[in-house]
A = this chain, B = another copy of it.
Amino acid sequence: MVILLKRQHDKKQLEHLMNWLKNMNLEIHASEGSMQTILGLVGDTTVVDIDLLKALDIVEDVKRIQEPYKNANRKFHPKDTVVNVGDVKIGGGNFVMIAGPCSVESEEQICCVAESVKKSGAKILRGGAFKPRTSPYAFQGMREKGLELLSEAKQKTGLPIVTEIMDLSQLHLFEDVDVIQVGARNMQNFELLKELGKINKPILLKRGLASTLQEFIMSAEYIMAGGNENVILCERGIRTYEPSTRNTLDLSAIPMLKNMTHLPIIVDPSHATGIARVVKPMALAAVAAGADGLIIEVHNDPPHAACDGAQSLTPEAFDNLAKAIEVIRPMACTYDQGVCQ
């Protein structure tokens, strides 16, 4: 951390600041120039509150040089984390395909899709029971009943299941769920993250639609600080000015995150783009860039899906995609300690 002092600064206030910093076990290196004095702080600066420093009369600016996260930091854990979901491994060279409908709609629908995506090579089943919808008048998901139907599909196919939690009060219903998804809108629902840090189920954490990569990792850090290290990061598009796709898929997040953290990174091209015909090119691109997995929306009858039909693949289109991915996977980027080889 670097503190830039104002040109005219009170010596006593400076002394006061230096003592306060030393009490936090930070070494201070002052660079006094004719124009500017800079204080370099060396040590564990994750505990220092930047806003507080900026409020000081004698301070002009403060820049963080070191990352404010520890548990998720690649520097302190050079080896890739591998998350285990039953027998399925994610990360550290293990690629996973997750697929299923946006919403669970009926036993027939979820089981039919589950069997079909399993045949095509999916290893985990996704399906929404609690659905975050912009409009209070839109379908809100089957809720408890949806979770039950997911469990049935799990029993029938043997596929582990991942589904979204929308509120802490729902947590007791997620016992049979294998991976708990935290949606983009809840990425900074800190109370939820803290509780999920206390359990040891894998958490699929989606990037908030206006979150920086650092904030994204900080939310993973919330979970990990509680003791749960099984976090899977998911890039799902960010909000930009471009109106033609629902969001802008930020694939450079893959090499950037690989460098910043040891956690596995998967990509959701369905929600990112919102357009079925764009899912395949973005899925192949994500694989080529070295993603640890994909999560894809598949519906047996997209035009009659209860939500997000426009972005769902048919089972045939998914099978075509899965085959293409199998072929391209061996040519994809591989990372060694976060650096693409």
Complex CA–CA separation, A65 to B7 (angstroms): 13
Interface 1/0 per residue, A224-245 and B, CB below 8 Å: 0100000000000011111111
**Whole-angstrom distance from the CB of A121 to the nearest CB of chain B?**
16
Inter-subunit contact B38/A33 (CB<8 Å): no
Instruction: List chain B residues, Cβ under 8 A from A36.
Output: 42, 65-66
Q: Would you call A23 an interface residue if the criterion is a C-beta within 8 Å of the partner chain's C-beta atoms?
A: no
Contacts A31-B42, A33-B27: A331 and B340 contacting too (C-beta < 8 A)?
A: no
Report A299-336 residues with CB < 8 Å from chain B CB.
302-312, 324, 327-328, 331-333
Instruction: List chain B residues, Cβ under 8 A from A52.
Output: 303-307, 309-310
Question: Interface residue count for A (Cβ, 8 Å)?
Answer: 116
Q: Would you call A108 an interface residue if the criterion is a C-beta within 8 Å of the partner chain's C-beta atoms?
A: no
Inter-subunit contact B284/A137 (CB<8 Å): no
Q: Would you call A274 an interface residue if the criterion is a C-beta within 8 Å of the partner chain's C-beta atoms?
A: yes
Instruction: List chain B residues, Cβ under 8 A from A327.
Output: 331
Inter-subunit contact B42/A38 (CB<8 Å): yes
Inter-subunit contact A277/B255 (CB<8 Å): yes
| A-B residue pairs, 7 tightest by C-beta | A33-B42, A29-B31, A210-B210, A55-B309, A31-B40, A288-B288, A54-B310
Task: Determine, out of A91-99, A145-153, A154-162, A246-254, the stretch whose residues face the partner at the interface.
Answer: A246-254
Task: Give me 20 other A-B pairs in contact (C-beta within 8 A), A2-B2, A281-B290 excluded.
Answer: A2-B63, A33-B43, A35-B66, A47-B137, A51-B310, A56-B303, A61-B65, A134-B188, A135-B218, A136-B218, A170-B191, A212-B243, A240-B250, A249-B252, A252-B278, A252-B282, A254-B281, A255-B281, A284-B331, A328-B328
Residue from the list B51, B132, B209, B308 in contact with A190, Cβ < 8 A:
B132
Complex CA–CA separation, A305 to B310 (angstroms): 40
Interface 1/0 per residue, A28-72 and B, CB below 8 Å: 011111111010101100110101101111000101011011000
**Whole-angstrom distance from the CB of A340 to the nearest CB of chain B?**
5
Q: Would you call A168 an interface residue if the criterion is a C-beta within 8 Å of the partner chain's C-beta atoms?
A: yes
Q: Would you call A276 an interface residue if the criterion is a C-beta within 8 Å of the partner chain's C-beta atoms?
A: yes
Instruction: List chain B residues, Cβ under 8 A from A251.
Output: 249, 251, 281-282, 285
Contacts A63-B2, A328-B328: A40 and B42 contacting too (C-beta < 8 A)?
A: no
